Chain A
Amino acid sequence: MGVLVSLRWWLVFGVGMCLLPLVVSTGTLRILVFAQFLAIFAMSWDILSGRTGYISFGHPFLIGIAGYTTAMLTYHLGVPLYFSIPAAVVATMIGSIFFFIPALRTRGTYFAVVTLAFMEVLYHLMQVVQPKLTGGTRGLSGLPTIILGAVPNYYLSFGVMFVIGVGLWLLIRTRLGTALSTIRMDEDAARSSGLNTTKLKLFAFMLSAFVAGIGGALYTHYLGSIAPRGIFDISFLFSILIAALIGGAGTIVGPIMGAYFLTLLLEFLRPYLPGPERYLIYGAITLLAYYYAPKGFHNIFGLLWQRLGALGRRE
């Protein structure tokens, strides 16, 4: 029953966002496209790190594998998109095994550092090894786009984000989702109560890579180009991490809220602060948000909702 009530909110959100192109400018839609891609990446981070507590500082590694796979297939071999994008998703899932192996031995801080190291390795390798294939430091540009125009791209990115969001949101409500969060709470206790945590972790990594792969491949074709500086970048990692955290890690709805908030915040500040001060204020606001609400907006809204409910009953 609770799930059905909440699904109604998803429906309201979906219908509302579908009607949005009727009222806002195409410029705003282009901004929202970025928010929606960020939301996909943040959800991919969330299903791995927010749920199981294995904090990934190297998510651009997965996104980069997807982006480069589809970019090289289409650029050099002229492979059609309907083949190159699934291939990129599969490649990302295979690449996530590199992520998974350290998770068998290390936890917490150590795991976070290894993932950061993976990102850096790929950053250097993409520039140095086979620059003819990867485009070296400049990367590849002039990649084919899936569809043209702000409105179709808005619907495409929203649709993908919405389907992934509802799917993951339903998943974390199942017993499987609960089992994943036991790994975060106490992995040893989960294991001793008979859960196969290795299998559960593998599942979380694969699912996260699947989502990152879809997002990374579509994002690359939306931009039409890929370069090591843009993908394996600390500020890209920062956006993903912060979107998930200030929205509310482990909730799937939170990262979506966080992604819209971050993207719109940066755009809202633009007219007031055209210069580099904008990034300072933007960073400072996210730091304050994390400082005062480390559990994220999702938690704050949840508490407010409860308070309102309690007030309603009292009257």
Chain B
Amino acid sequence: MLSQILIQGFLLSGLYGLLAVGFTMIFSVGRVLNLAFGANIMIGGYVYFALAQEAALPKLPSFIGAVLAGVAFGVVTYLILVRRFRDDPIAVEISTLILAVVMQALIVMIFSPAPRSMWPLLPGVAHIYGVAVSLNIVLATVVSWVVLGGLLVFVHKTHLGRAIRAVSMDPKGATISGIDPRQISLVTWGLSGALGAMAGVFLATYTQLDPGMWVFPLITAVAVVIVGGIGSIIGSLIAAHIIGFMETITTTVIAAELRGVFTMLLIIIVLLVVPKGLFGREEI
């Protein structure tokens, strides 16, 4: 029981980390919540499904195709909606929420509202300390961590990454040092779209594809980000583990249906007690 909780909690947390970091990057740079991030998740899952299962392409190109679709969607959202409502975060949130609902309608139109099941990325089952875990989930976790590690190196070691951090700390100061915040925002929206699409592929192989699949992951991403402190990558990773383990414990010990409830209660409590989140906002 204990090893099951530890292993499954760890595996789930990796995915939540990917989800939350993709979501929080946009907030750090632009101070807006992108509610169309849910649509990114959905696009990732469905594009992979269309390429790998309906067009029967190999898995890796399909995965890359899904990620590119995510990048394109992120960039287009930024160019069309966010540039227009830049001064008004609430308008960005409302318009991205509408966009997510529109994308859901588009998915229903193309793929029908019925749920679709996805083949695992890697079939088979592994036994880790006596706990049976599907290789698919192990692969998803490993890829998530590689991507997250790469991202941390990117934002700390490369020029572009440092520019992203500079804009997230102080857009005016960054502009004075010769960085164009709009260009940086564009890059960030593309990156965030890629992470969202990746998380979408993994989520769809964990459960199934259905047009409403974006709501719960979006709320989870919001929860992780709020608990960790909006805009902090490290905070988000820690909070992803808090929430991942909490959900695993709820699922195994109490009831699977209640896992969302505790997450929501945690957001409410954190916002009331420490509105800045557990890890403030210092670094991106």
How many chain B residues touch A (CB < 8 A): the figure is 41
Whether B90 pairs with A283 at a CB distance below 8 angstroms is no
Distance in angstroms between the alpha carbons of A105 and B222 in the assembled complex:
18
Is there a chain A Cβ closer than 8 Å to B251's Cβ? no
Chain B: CB-nearest residue to A235? B101
B6 contacts the other chain (Cβ, under 8 Å)? no
Of the 9-residue stretches B59-67, B156-164, B260-268, which lies at the interface with chain A?
A: B260-268
Q: Which residue of B212, B223, B255 contacts A128 across the interface (Cβ within 8 Å)? A: B255
Complex-state Cα separation, A125 to B255, whole angstroms: 12
Asked if B98 is at the interface of the complex by the 8 Å CB criterion, the answer is yes
Residue of B94, B258, B268, B272 near A241 (CB, 8 A) is B94
Contact with A along B76-97 (1 / 0, CB 8 A): 0000010011001111011101
Q: Which residue on chain A has the smallest CB distance to residue B226? A: A113
Contacts of A245 in B (CB 8 A): 94
Interfacial chain A residues near B219, Cβ < 8 Å? 116-117, 120
Task: For the complex formed, measure the closest distance between the CB of A183 and the CB atoms of chain B, giving whole angstroms.
Answer: 14
* B residues less than 8 Å from A118 (CB atoms): 264, 268
Contact B102 A117 (CB under 8 A): no
Asked if A263 is an interface residue, CB under 8 A from chain B, the answer is no
A290-B95 contact, Cβ under 8 Å, with A105-B275, A108-B89, A128-B255: yes
In the complex, residue of chain B having the shortest beta-carbon distance to the beta carbon of A279? B105
- Tell me the complex Cα distance, A245–B258, Å: 33
How far is A154 from B270 in the complex, measured between Cα atoms in Å? 45
How many Å lie between the Cα of A283 and that of B100 in the bound state? 10
Contact B272 A102 (CB under 8 A): yes
A51 → chain B, closest Cβ, in Å? 14
* A276 neighbours in B (Cβ, 8 Å): 105, 108-109, 112-113
**Any B CB within 8 A of the CB of A86:** no
A143 close to B (CB within 8 Å): no
Given the complex, which residues of A lie within 8 Å of B101, measured CB to CB? 234-235, 238, 283
Q: Are B89 and A109 in contact (CB under 8 A)?
A: yes
B215 within 8 A of A: yes
In the complex, what distance in Å separates the CA atom of A46 from the CA atom of B258? Answer: 32
Determine whether A286 belongs to the interface, using a CB cutoff of 8 Å to chain B.
yes
Q: Are B98 and A117 in contact (CB under 8 A)?
A: no
Pair A113/B105 contact, Cβ less than 8 Å: no
Hey, which chain A residues are within 8 Å of B212, CB to CB?
234
Given A277-B109, A283-B105, A287-B102, A124–B271 Cβ distance below 8 Å? Answer: no
Say which residue of A120, A234, A242, A280 sits within 8 Å of B260 (CB atoms). A120
1/0 per residue A24-56: CB within 8 Å of B? 000000000000000000000000000001010
B258, A117: Cβ atoms closer than 8 Å: no
**Is A124 within 8 A of B33, CB to CB?**
no
Report yes or no: A110 in contact with B108, Cβ–Cβ below 8 A: no
Known: A124-B260, A235-B101, A290-B98. A117 touches B223 (CB 8 A): yes
Given contacts A109-B93, A117-B264, A124-B258, whether A283 and B98 have CB atoms under 8 Å apart is: yes
Proximity string of chain B (90-126) to chain A, C-beta cutoff 8 Å, 1 when within and 0 when not: 1101110111011001101100110000000000000
Give A212 to B32 CA distance when docked, in angstroms: 29
The answer to whether A112 touches B267 (Cβ under 8 A) is no
Q: A102-B271, A116-B219, A283-B98 are in contact. Are A121 and B264 (CB under 8 A)?
A: yes
B264 in contact with A55 (CB, 8 Å)? no
A286, B264: Cα distance in complex, Å: 29
User: Smallest Cβ distance from B102 to chain A, in angstroms?
Assistant: 4
User: A266 vs B112: C-alpha distance in the bound complex, in angstroms?
Assistant: 19
Q: In the complex where A101-B272, A102-B268, A294-B85 touch, is A124 in contact with B105 (Cβ < 8 A)?
A: no
- Which of B81, B89, B264 gathers the greatest number of chain A CB atoms within 10 Å? B264
Is A160 an interface position by the 8 A CB rule?
A: no
Asked whether A284 is an interface residue with its Cβ less than 8 Å from the other chain, the reply is yes
- Report B109-147 CB contacts with A as 1/0, cut-off 8 Å: 100110000000000000000000000000000000000
B223 contacts across to A, CB distance below 8 A: 117
B257 part of interface (Cβ distance < 8 Å): yes
* Residue numbers in A under 8 Å from B89 (CB-CB): 108-109
Minimum CB–CB distance for A230 against chain B, Å: 13
Bound Cα distance A245, B223 (Å) = 26
* Residue contacts A-B, CB under 8 angstroms, 21 given: A55-B93, A101-B272, A102-B271, A105-B272, A106-B271, A106-B275, A110-B271, A113-B222, A114-B268, A114-B271, A118-B268, A120-B264, A121-B268, A125-B261, A241-B97, A276-B113, A280-B105, A284-B102, A291-B81, A294-B85, A294-B88
A-B pairs, top 4 by smallest CB distance, nearest first, are A283-B102, A280-B105, A279-B105, A117-B264
Chain B residues packing against A (C-beta within 8 Å): 32-33, 81, 84-85, 88-91, 93-95, 97-99, 101-102, 105-106, 108-109, 112-113, 212, 215, 219, 222-223, 226, 255, 257-258, 260-261, 264-265, 267-268, 271-272, 275
Instruction: With A102-B271, A117-B268, A290-B95 given, name 9 new contacts (CB 8 A).
Output: A106-B271, A109-B33, A110-B271, A110-B275, A112-B90, A114-B271, A116-B222, A280-B109, A294-B91
